[in-house]
Amino acid sequence: MTNSLDKIIESEYKKAFEILDKYIKYIKEEYRIDYKIPRLEIFEDEAPYSAWYLPTRNEICFFKESIEEYIDNELKFLGYKEINERAIDKLLKSLDYKKIISDKVDIEYLNGKYYYFSIVGMYTEFLENKIRFFKKYIKMINNLLKSLGYKEIKRKDIGYLNRGLNLILLYPFYINKRNIRKSIEEFDTLSTMFHEFWHSIDFSILDKLEKDLTIKDRDYLLTILKYLDNLEVRASAFEVIMYYLANGFHNDERGYMAAYANISMCRKYIEKIDILEKNKYMNINIYINISYDLGRCYGNIIVAKYGPSLKENIQDIIKYIIHLDKKRAIEVIKRYGDNPNKLLND
């Protein structure tokens, strides 16, 4: 491990706090919590995850060996995207801008071809061959961009990484072609930082609830906050939303459409949850990972729903996240997964 990774982690910690500062002030005032910024600790070791939040010490701990292992996997994943890169650019350059709000197009069927739900039938193939599936997934984004009439490439340095644990969830990120590893380190560290910061917010609210017996719906809120699944659903949803907001991807067609395209996979994933949860007592990691995926799916739906108006609505979105639980996340994924055009109408 090198000192450069330490510098990236420290830099992204400061960046995340600067971005979140005004939102933390809002939450502190709204919920009257005594919130303290968590300290940052960096370890050389490997752990089950790249980072975690320790509420007893109010620390966000990063594990460099785990980060490097994740980077190695993403580099392999990224290497298979390049065959479609020129095709994406060519499509974007040749399109007319029209339809996304005015024409409420049926994404499922357009001009004699199925675009949106063609991905669903490939779920089994994905489980057998992730790389082959990834190529087809990128092509689906091409088709979505084309059908929605996007005309220009605003940024040519955007690629896609996988953030899902039991499914593929594409995340846009900025590629530094001179140092791709650094690009992925910055991507992973910042998105993880948002995740862990939300945990620190959750535990501050929990502490307030436990001490203040007068809070309305206190027992209900305590139940939501304490349940491990819900903790990870909320942190993962917040991670996605803040990552898009911080990088401006909610305003960029190549970034925004990745979130939109992910909804199809999320809907199919819901059908597999019962099977995965049957193994929860045999493999705790699978059980926890379900919550991460559900939260990230919910976050992608919020990004796709609000798009360029994400920033203007962020305070209301934060209120939803504070009360978000696993059941609600599944309901939202089903609602928009079955009817993706509702994102344009609701």
Which two tokens mark 31?
């919920």
Kindly report the number of other CB atoms within 10 A of residue 218's CB atom: 14
Q: Which amino acid is at 237?
A: A
- How much is the pLDDT for 284? 56
pLDDT digits (tens, 9 = 90+) for 200-226: 999 998 888 888 888 877 888 888 887
- Percent of the chain scoring above 70 in pLDDT: 70
pLDDT digits (tens, 9 = 90+) for 128-174: 344 445 556 556 665 655 555 543 334 457 778 888 888 888 888 88
pLDDT digits (tens, 9 = 90+) for 291-310: 999 999 999 999 988 888 89
With vertex at residue 238, the alpha carbon angle to CA 64 and CA 85, rounded to the nearest 5 degrees, is 70
d(CA 150, CA 165): 30
**249, 172 Cβ separation under 8 angstroms:** yes
pLDDT digits (tens, 9 = 90+) for 309-325: 899 999 999 989 988 99
Give the three-class secondary structure for 14.
helix
d(CA 158, CA 105): 26
Check: pTM over 0.85? Answer yes or no. no
pLDDT digits (tens, 9 = 90+) for 93-126: 443 323 322 222 233 333 333 333 222 222 223 3
- How much is the pLDDT for 191? 95
**Closest by alpha carbon to 322, among 47, 30, 48?**
30
More confident residue, 182 or 274: 182
- How much is the pLDDT for 93? 44
- How much is the pLDDT for 341? 60
More confident residue, 152 or 289: 289
- How much is the pLDDT for 37? 93
Pairing of the two strands 39-43 and 59-63 = parallel
> Is residue 243 predicted with pLDDT exceeding 80?
yes
338: left (phi over 0), alpha (psi -120 to 50) or beta: alpha
Per-residue CA distances from 272 to 130, 145, 170, 267, 268 (Å) = 17, 28, 19, 10, 7
- How much is the pLDDT for 104? 28
Domain ranges of the chain: 3-34+171-345
